[in-house]
């Protein structure tokens, strides 16, 4: 169970780092384009971030921005290989063994410490995620229970205005109009059965024309399925709770969401009414007291720093639709292709530094040395990395038998330990003879047989077995 948890956390960390890179790219694109993108296209950029966090697998592409990391890694490895080639040691992409005495107790202690720290981190992560999810579900459930007893708006004039606004926005579903003081600004709440919550202060301060603007804005959230998007993003944030940059990106996303709703609402009113719409937003902010932080809610943003940007957008004349829509589509496709794909692992070495002294691909002799050296250090991970899928399954079963479900790549025994070994190669088969000893000292010999094969052009260990163990007399 713990091993599955650590594997999951490894994937989560990888995903959160790539999502953070995408968030930086989105913010940079917004800054570079500024008011060139229409609000709906600016908001759609953030949906790329949701997809990056949501999808467990992404296709590989040479166009992916994450190829940069692999290119740097390849260049770094090439430089290391070049430096190593100046010395007598051999470098082949795998570590070659150094015939040194290894202290088994120290090796076990270091490995156990590293594993236990990552296991602790995995437990902390899952506890934090469950805590965030529990808090989110509890808060939404409690708020839903509170407004369940709140009355519908009784004023027939307001109800007729609301129904006309629904017709203007082509919203056909039933949406109750609830009068409540549990919110300080108009708020749409509920994923499956949304309700529009209106505080008494808004009903008394706004006239019918201003209420129509409010209704059009809130119904824009319904048309755009913003509550579902917000709920999904809150679940993803609970999973990635340890990444503050994603929380910051979500706040920016909510601001752009409000502007996108403003833009949609403005398409339903006359151009000369845009200033009255902007004044209504200002009036709502004056009434605003405390925001409702719920995954299943959408309400006016209290961010007064963004108010100027919203007002400029609302009162400015609309841009050429086709021209700026094409720009938005181009940006979406460009960022999607660059950030919704993973690095092309097949071309990892394609852009590495050209060097005449670059090491050749790993040979059977070198891989056999890595295999033997792994037993010296009692770390089975290098062995696992060079195995075929069939051999990996065999290794996992052996680890489960040895250590249970919480296996940790530990191999061999603390005594006797390996002091020397010799490899004999016969085609694709290798026999490794180990000399081991105890502290008495007593000496033992172990023979291990390896069978190599080629998988995707790369040498892998197809099978392995211990064929002899015995004491040296």
CB 409 within 8 A of CB 381: yes
Q: What does the pLDDT look like over 38-74, one tens digit per residue?
A: 888 889 999 999 999 998 777 777 777 777 765 555 5
Summarised one tens digit per residue, pLDDT across range 299-350 is 776 666 677 777 777 877 555 555 656 777 788 888 888 777 877 655 444 4
CA gap 9, 409 in Å, rounded: 18
- Region(s) of the chain under CATH 3.10.450: 362-473
Distance CA 21, CA 52 (A): 10
User: What is the pLDDT confidence band of residue 221, given thresholds at 50, 70 and 90?
Assistant: very high
Count the neighbouring beta carbons within 10 Å of the beta carbon of residue 81.
Answer: 18
pLDDT in tens, 102-151: 444 444 444 444 457 878 888 999 999 999 999 999 999 999 999 999 99
Question: Measured between alpha carbons, how far is 162 from 154 in angstroms, rounded to an integer?
Answer: 12
Average pLDDT, the chain: 82
Per DSSP, 269 falls in state S
pLDDT digit string (tens) for 345-373?
554 444 433 443 344 457 899 999 999 99
pLDDT in tens, 190-205: 988 999 999 998 898 8
Q: How far apart are CA 183 and CA 203, in angstroms?
A: 12
Terminal-to-terminal C-alpha distance of the chain: 44
Instruction: Please list the residue range(s) of the chain that carry CATH number 3.30.2010.10.
Output: 127-318
362-473 has CATH 3.10.450 classification = yes
Cα-based torsion angle of the residue sequence 382, 388, 389, 391 in order, rounded to the nearest 10 degrees: -80
Report the topology of domain 127-318.
Zincin-like (3.30.2010)
What's the pTM value of the predicted model, to 2 decimals?
0.65
Residue 45 and residue 29: Cα distance in Å, rounded?
9
Q: Are 406 and 3 in contact (CB under 8 A)?
A: yes
Cβ pair 129, 236 in contact under 8 A? no
Angle at 260 between CA 254 and CA 265, to 5 degrees: 130
């Amino acid at each position: 169970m713990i091993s599955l948890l650590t594997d999951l956390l490894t994937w989560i960390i990888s995903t959160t780092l790539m999502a953070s890179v995408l968030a930086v790219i989105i913010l940079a694109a917004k800054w570079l384009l500024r008011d060139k993108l229409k609000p709906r296209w600016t908001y759609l950029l953030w949906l790329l971030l949701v997809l990056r966090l949501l999808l467990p697998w992404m296709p590989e592409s040479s166009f992916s921005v994450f190829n940069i990391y692999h290119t740097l890694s390849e260049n770094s490895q090439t430089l290391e290989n070049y430096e190593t080639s100046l010395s007598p040691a051999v470098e082949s992409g795998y570590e070659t063994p150094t015939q040194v005495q290894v202290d088994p107790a120290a090796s076990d202690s270091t490995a156990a410490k590293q594993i236990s720290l990552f296991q602790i981190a995995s437990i902390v992560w899952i506890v934090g995620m469950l805590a965030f999810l529990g808090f989110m579900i509890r808060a939404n459930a409690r708020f839903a229970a509170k407004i369940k007893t709140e009355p519908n708006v009784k004023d027939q004039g307001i109800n007729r205005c609301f129904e006309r606004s629904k017709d203007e926005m082509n919203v056909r579903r039933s949406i109750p109009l609830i009068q409540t003081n549990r919110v300080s600004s108009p708020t749409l709440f509920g994923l499956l059965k949304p309700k529009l919550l209106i505080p008494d202060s808004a009903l008394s301060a706004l006239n019918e024309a201003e209420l129509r603007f409010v209704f059009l804005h809130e119904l824009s959230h319904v048309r755009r399925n913003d509550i579902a998007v917000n709920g999904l993003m809150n679940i993803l944030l609970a999973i990635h709770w340890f990444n503050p940059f994603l929380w910051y990106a979500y706040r920016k996303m909510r601001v752009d969401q409000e502007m996108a709703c403003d833009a949609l609402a403005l398409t339903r009113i006359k151009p000369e009414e845009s200033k009255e719409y902007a004044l209504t937003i200002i009036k709502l902010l004056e009434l605003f007291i405390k925001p409702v932080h719920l995954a299943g809610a959408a309400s006016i943003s209290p961010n007064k720093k963004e108010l100027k940007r919203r007002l400029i957008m609302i009162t400015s004349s609309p841009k050429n639709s086709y021209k700026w829509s094409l720009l938005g589509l181009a940006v979406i496709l460009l960022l999607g292709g660059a950030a919704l794909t993973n690095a092309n692992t097949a071309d990892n070495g394609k852009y590495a530094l050209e060097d005449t002294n670059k090491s050749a691909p790993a040979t059977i002799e070198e891989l056999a040395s890595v295999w033997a050296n792994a037993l010296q250090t009692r770390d089975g991970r290098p062995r696992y990395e060079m195995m075929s899928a069939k051999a990996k399954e065999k290794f996992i079963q052996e680890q489960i038998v040895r250590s249970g479900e919480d296996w940790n790549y530990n191999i061999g025994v603390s005594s006797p330990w390996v002091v020397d070994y010799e490899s004999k190669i016969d085609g694709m088969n290798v026999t490794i003879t180990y000399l081991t000893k105890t502290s008495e000292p007593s000496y033992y010999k172990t023979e291990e047989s390896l069978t190599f094969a080629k998988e995707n052009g790369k040498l892998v260990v197809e099978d392995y077995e211990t064929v002899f163990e015995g004491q040296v007399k």
